[in-house]
Amino acid sequence: MTTTREVVAADDATLIGRSLHEPEIFAVLFDRHAPLLHRYVTRRLGPGEAEDVVADTFLAAFQSRGAYDRGRPDARPWLYGIASNMIGRRRRAETGLYRAYLRSGVHPGEIAGARVEDGVNTLAVNRPLARALLRLKRADRDVLLLVAWAGLTYQEVADALAIPPGTVASRLNRARAQIRQSLGEGERP
């Protein structure tokens, strides 16, 4: 009966379509996807940038929602594609984060609370990984992390970044190979 009940069951494309005439509906899309998007951005840029990037992503999405392909019920590729552009504009923040990792082994988001106890493991595992991520080309890193952290499929990454699925596969293979090689180096005495 109420709008609230209807929108809970609606897919993303339906919500986006309705938001053209009822803009407030778009907030439901935010509530649905912002928690994980915030986590993804925090992981990539650190907590200091996450709020801005999430807000900018959803505002940009809201403003361009008229062009959304409503044949795609899941809006995650679209949102993560916009977020990837936003992250790209903050490349320095991302590479700075990995460099900080290499120095301290601790993500700024992990300093508080129980993570301190895990610091040794974090140091051991993540320094080589941070170095590897830092060395990746930006385009390869986007593909790798959209798969590994955002949980997108090859096709969804292709949609998000507007590249062919074959390119997704080749970038992913290259990124994984580099990561494996770097982690192998890190394990050497």
Partner 1 sequence: MKALDDMWQDVPVASFEDLAGARRRLMDGMRTRRRVLTAPRLLVAAGVAAAAVAAPLIAGGGTPAYAVTENPDGTITVVLNEMRDPEGLRADLLAAGVTADVSFLAPRTRCADPRFEGTDPSYGSPGPTGALRTGVERWRSFQATQVVDVHEIRIRPEFIRPGETLVLEFRDNRNAQRPWTLGAWLARAGSPVKPCTPVPDPA
Residues between 59 and 118 that touch partner 1 (CB under 8 A): 59, 62-63, 107, 109-110, 115, 118
- Nearer to partner 1 (CB atom), residue 11 or residue 118: 118
Alpha-carbon distances, residue 151 vs 77, 80, 102, 144 (angstroms): 10, 11, 26, 10
Look at residues 128, 148, 136 and name the one whose alpha carbon lies nearest to residue 175.
Answer: 136
Alpha-carbon distances, residue 13 vs 38, 66, 77 (angstroms): 21, 11, 12
Instruction: Say which residue the tokens 């339906």 belong to.
Output: 14
- Nearer to partner 1 (CB atom), residue 68 or residue 71: 68
Give the nearest distance from C-beta 9 to partner 1 in angstroms: 15
Residues between 11 and 70 that touch partner 1 (CB under 8 A): 21-27, 30-31, 34-36, 38-39, 42-43, 50-52, 54-55, 58-59, 62-63
Q: Which residues here bind partner 1, judged by CB under 8 A?
A: 1-5, 21-27, 30-31, 34-36, 38-39, 42-43, 50-52, 54-55, 58-59, 62-63, 107, 109-110, 115, 118, 122, 125-126, 129, 144-145, 148-149, 176, 179-180, 183
